[in-house]
Each structure stands twice: as structure tokens, then as C-alpha cells.
Chains A and B, each alone.
Chain A
Amino acid sequence: MTLVEHFERGLDAPICLTWELTYACNLACVHCLSSSGRRDPRELTTAECKSVIDEFARMQIFYVNVGGGEPTVRKDFWELLRYAVAHDVGVKFSTNGSRITAAVARELAGTEYVDVQISLDGATAEVNDAVRGRGSYATALKAMGYLSEAGMHGFKLSVVVTRENVSQLDDFKALADAHGAQLRLTRLRPAGRGADVWDALHPTAVQQLELYRWLLAHGDGVLTGDSFFHLAAYGEALPGLGMCGAGRVVCLIDPIGDVYACPFAIHDQFRAGNVRGAGGFESVWRESELFAQLRGPQSGGACTSCGHYDSCRGGCMAAKFFTGLPLEGPDPECVLGHGEAALALVDQAMELPKPSPDHSRRRPSRTCDESPLTVIAG
């Protein structure tokens, strides 16, 4: 059995576990995967979070990707971070940078097992702030400056690739290099509020090819979290496992303890259980019916007859689901154009699935923010 075949059947513990600590956020990015904004009153308590960390340590989950919302707005964030590190669970956390002061940066730089990921979606304030909100570019740059000065080498600059910023890849790379950081590019998913803006913001077919060439040219030097494996159908495989890891090597724990197959699939259909249940996270990971199903043989459906199926594997499950496409069929951004053709067949009157919990703060105001984007009212 090849390594990928092993991975498809699932591992004893995830390789890549994302833990959204809170739905609270001081920003309201138009493409937020988790529709964050307001804190959920059912959020896991400090004690519950610590017992989840104990489980990670027992299962030898080497590190977790912590996000939100904005994780640092939790009052116990730093306490939980120290607790994890003390139990040999490394933490890479994503932040908009608003709570990264010079002092915090120094502490982070002095803590082993901690990595920081600053989110930025434009190499200029104009492009970034249209998506992440006014002032967010300046905030992120300030945080990067502090981390760089503190000697936090190799922290991540994390960018969601959009139609508006795909022409700035070299600028992002230069920005990361100038701060001693590493660039991480990920795919825009039509999940959460991202579903509302996906039509307007996902890269065009021409841009996807440009992105593919850029990624090939930069190889291992740029991280992608295996985001773009659907582009492998252009010909050459990109670095990474090249498969959908949902429920097999990847999963998400949300702020109220619900376990989902992947960070881009916060929806009832992909919820496997809750860490508050009797067997905790471990039994959800090892015994849930949903995960067992995802680890079983998958049908490629309409894609099976395509000569590129072995390289793209049908693409991203979540991207298909939230654009109304069947899971056994092409990705909406299939590089051969099969996705566009399939999308054209999706009944316009059909209501697309919405992410189950929506914690957006000011839903109606999304139609009157200053974004130059066309936004469909929630």
C-alpha cells in the first residue's frame, strides 16, 4: 500500500488538526470561512480546553493550528498556549495581528513550539482592506514588524489567493522575505461568508494557470497547506500529499467542541461529533460514522472517466458542497473547465447550503460596507 493509500484509510490521529478557539472576532472579513464575529455562549471553557489539550498529548498530536475568529481575543488564550506547549503540543496560531505588541512578540520569539501566522489578503492596503476591513493592513504590518524585530524567524505570512491579489504574489513573497517570514498561500473556499463572495473573488481560469506556474517555480519555499492539489491536473504535481485529507488526516474542532471533517466544511453534513461527548475527541476521530465513511472507497462519479482524475482526485469536497455541486464530480475550479460546466447546470433557484452556525456580527451591513465587491445579501 502506498503512503497516500494509507492516508486515505485514515490515521490513528490527525496530522493536521485545526482548532478554532472562538467565533469572536474584531474583524469581519468578507470571506471568513467560519462566519465569525460574535462569541458563542457555549464556547468551551478554559478547563474543557485544557482537557482537550491533554487528549492531544495522549494521542501524540504534535501540533495544532489554532484559529477562530480571532483566537487572541479569548482572555485565556495565552494561558492555553502555555499549557499546550508545556504538554509538548506545539501551537501554530493564526491572527490578524491586533494583539501582537512588541512585548508579546518577544515572548513568542522566546517560546519554543510556537509559530505565528499573520493573515493578510493584499500586498497593498487597498487590496487587503477591501476584504479584511479598513486599517487591517496597517495592523498586520505592524505585527509583522514586531515579530521580525523580536527575532521570530520563519513566522508565516498567510494569504488567501483571490482574483484581486493573484497579481501580487511576488510582492507578498518580497514582504515575507523582508520580515524573515515564510509565505503561505491558500485557496479561497466558498465556505462560511466566503460562499457570498466566491463568485466575485475566486481566481479566473487564466489566473489559476498563472498561480500554478508561480507555485511550481517556487516549490517548497512557499507553503500551501496542500490547498491547490486540484491544480495538479495541469500536469505536474505540486509539493504536498495531493489529496483531500478531510476526516482522514485532517479535521476541525470548532469553538463549541463540534468536530468537523475539515476547516472548510462547517456544516451539519460534515459534523462527526463533539469533544464534550463521553469518549472525547479520540472516540470521535476513531469511531465516528462520518469519518469511517470518508475513509472508505470514494466514487469519482463523473470524474472517473477523466484522464486527470489520478492527479486531482476530484478536488475539494467543501468547494463542491457549498457551490451546489455533487460530491462525486468535478471541483468548481476544475482546470479542465468541467466545474464551470457543472455549475451552469446547478439550478439557479436551488438554495445553496449555508454553513450551519453563522456568528457574523452585522449581517445586513455587509451590503453597505465600503468593499468594491458585489455582495449578495445574507
Chain B
Amino acid sequence: MTVIDRAWAVDDQVALRPEPFGALAYHFGTRRLSFLKSPELFAAVRGLAEHPTARDACLAAGVDETRLAAYERALGTLAETGMIREREPVRR
């Protein structure tokens, strides 16, 4: 399954700070700072834990379906850098 179809959550050691362009994400463990460059990406990331898949989180955040590939790449980078981590999918 690809990134967009799996279940994710923001890592416990990550803090998100809203900014006019989107948000800053800071990982206290790796001391890495990432820039979420759209309010939709911020909303999607913040909502990851409440949705069964990243796709649902993105759509709930108002991401246009045609833009999903770009958001999947962004989420992939966040996963590689430990900002978000995969979790067990919750059955509905």
C-alpha cells in the first residue's frame, strides 16, 4: 500500500505551530524543522490520527483530488524524516 492509503499520526515528539503560510513542524528528538507550505497540508497532518488513511485526512482538509499526488510526496518526506509515523489502522 502506498503512503496515501495507510494510517498515520504525528510523532509524539513533534510540535506544530500555525503560521500564515501553513505551519512549522519541529521534532524535539531529531531537532529537525520542517515547513508545511500550505494551510491544507497543516490541516491534513493535524488530522492524520483521526482518519483511517492519509487520503481521508487530506480530503477532509479540503485538498483537491487532483493535488493528492503532491500531498502524498509531502507526507512521504515527513514519514522519512520521522515527523509522522505509521499506526495500526482502526477498523470502522
Contacts and interface: CB of A to CB of B under 8 A. Distances in A.
Interface of A: 1, 3, 6, 9, 11-13, 15, 60, 62-63, 88, 90, 92, 112-113, 115
Nearest to A62: B26
Contact of B17 (A3, A62, A92, A115): A62
A3 B28 contact: no
Interface string B34-49: 0101000000000000
A11 B33 CA distance: 15
A320 B48 CA distance: 47
A113 B21 CA distance: 26
Interface of B: 15, 17-21, 24, 26, 28-29, 31, 33, 35, 37
Contacts of A9: 20
Contacts of B19: 6, 11-12
A60 B15 contact: yes
13 contacts: A1-B21, A6-B19, A11-B20, A12-B17, A12-B20, A60-B15, A62-B15, A62-B24, A62-B33, A63-B26, A90-B28, A112-B28, A112-B29
A97 B6 CA distance: 47
B84 to A, nearest CB: 17
B10 to A, nearest CB: 14
Given A62-B33, A112-B29, A3 B24 contact: no
A332 B18 CA distance: 37
B24 A15 contact: yes
B31 to A, nearest CB: 6
A88 B33 contact: no
Contacts of B35: 3
Contacts of A13: 17
Given A1-B21, A62-B15, A15 B33 contact: yes
B21 A88 contact: no
Given A3-B21, A15-B33, A63-B28, 5 more contacts: A6-B19, A9-B20, A60-B17, A90-B28, A112-B28
Nearest to A5: B21
Nearest to A154: B31
